[in-house]
Amino acid sequence: MANALPTDAYRCGQLYAVITALEKLASPNGRSALDQPGARAKAAKRPYDHLHKPLNRAVEFLMAARARRRGTEAEALFLAIPALLPQTLNLPRAFGDTQQEQFGDGFHAWSATAAGKA
C-alpha cells in the first residue's frame, strides 16, 4: 500500500491547501476566503461546489501575487496544481466520511510540507 497513489480525496485536500496558499499570496491582507471557519469542512463534503471556482481563478491569483512581488512563491504553488488534480480529472461532487478524512489528511500533509519549507 505504500506505493499506492493518493486517493482523489487526498489530492483534493492538497489542492485545497495549494489554492488557499495561492489566494493568500494574491491578497493584499494575506487572507483567503477558503481559510474562513467551516470553509474547509464544506469543501471536504462537496469539493466541486467549493473548489471549482477558486481553481478556475488560479491564474488570477498568480498574476495578483506577481504584482505584489510574491511571484516566485506563487509560481511554485501554481505549478503544483496539475499533479494534485483528481485522477478522474473532474472534481468529485461529494465525499463520504472516509473520503472527508482523507481530504483533511491531504490538506494537513501539504500544509506541513509547505511550513517546513518556509
Q: Considering the entire predicted model, what is its pTM?
A: 0.92
Residue 56 domain-assigned?
Answer: yes
- At 3, is the pLDDT very low, low, confident or very high (cuts 50, 70, 90)? low
The stretch 72-95 carries a mean pLDDT of: 95
Q: Is residue 54 part of a domain?
A: yes
Instruction: State the pLDDT at residue 2.
Output: 52
Residue 105 lies in a domain: yes
Cα angle vertex 90, ends 1, 18, to 5°?
75
pLDDT for 1 equals 40
Q: Which pLDDT score is estimated for 114?
A: 80
pLDDT of residue 11: 97
Give me the number of domains the chain comprises: 1
- Does residue 79 register a pLDDT over 80? yes
Q: Provide the domain limits for residue 18.
A: 8-117
Do the Cβ atoms of 15 and 85 come closer than 8 Å?
Answer: yes
Residue 1 lies in a domain: no
CA dihedral 46, 50, 56, 58 (to 10 degrees): -120
